Amino acid sequence: MSTLSGILFFLAFLPYAWATIHGETVPSPVSWAIWASVDTLSLLAMRKEKAKLGQISGAVAGAWGITALAFFYGQPTMGSTEWVSIAGAVIGVALWKKTGNAVLAIVSCQVAVFAGAFPTFANGYYRPAQEDPLSWCIWFASCVCALLALKKWDLANALQPLTFTVIETVMVLLVVVRPLLF
């Protein structure tokens, strides 16, 4: 299930990339660069802790691709949320380096990932048509697989898929469910 989760997570980037290239989705290059960076740090810390890597591997590969596209097709933003995300990543690296505890890096990175989602939540709320609903649904399906793959419910294994699940759930509610209701 972990491998399936990673494949699904990566595949969800394909319609998102298509929508970006065709001007239907307008990603923030700063947000995506932050997500790609903290996801990469999470991947490294989770690897050290021997956690399941399926979903986070798909996230890293796809996020760097969207980051590249966002620099050409996106709209730059640099608000307080982006600074909080950057700070979270820096704190994660510093904690890991100082203590040797990769779990502290995972926690810090997931806080940064969640903080970095707020501009996307706002976009999903105010401009749901600028988000790709198919991608968000596939990312959500990946989260279900990642959670089902968990055999060990500790911070190293569960925090990343739980964080992603909360984000994807909010976005599915905003860009898929809410437009159907209103």
Q: Which residues have C-beta within 8 Å of that of residue 141, sequence separation ≥ 6?
A: 8
Which pLDDT score, from 0 to 100, does residue 84 have? 76
pTM of the predicted model, to two decimals? 0.89
Whether 118 shows a pLDDT value over 90: the answer reads no
Which pLDDT score, from 0 to 100, does residue 88 have? 73
Which pLDDT score, from 0 to 100, does residue 122 have? 86
Three-state secondary structure call for residue 100? coil
pLDDT, one tens digit per residue, over 36-68 is 988 999 999 999 999 999 999 999 999 999 999
Report the distance separating Cα 114 and Cα 180, nearest Å.
26
pLDDT, one tens digit per residue, over 73-100 is 987 777 777 787 778 777 877 888 888 8
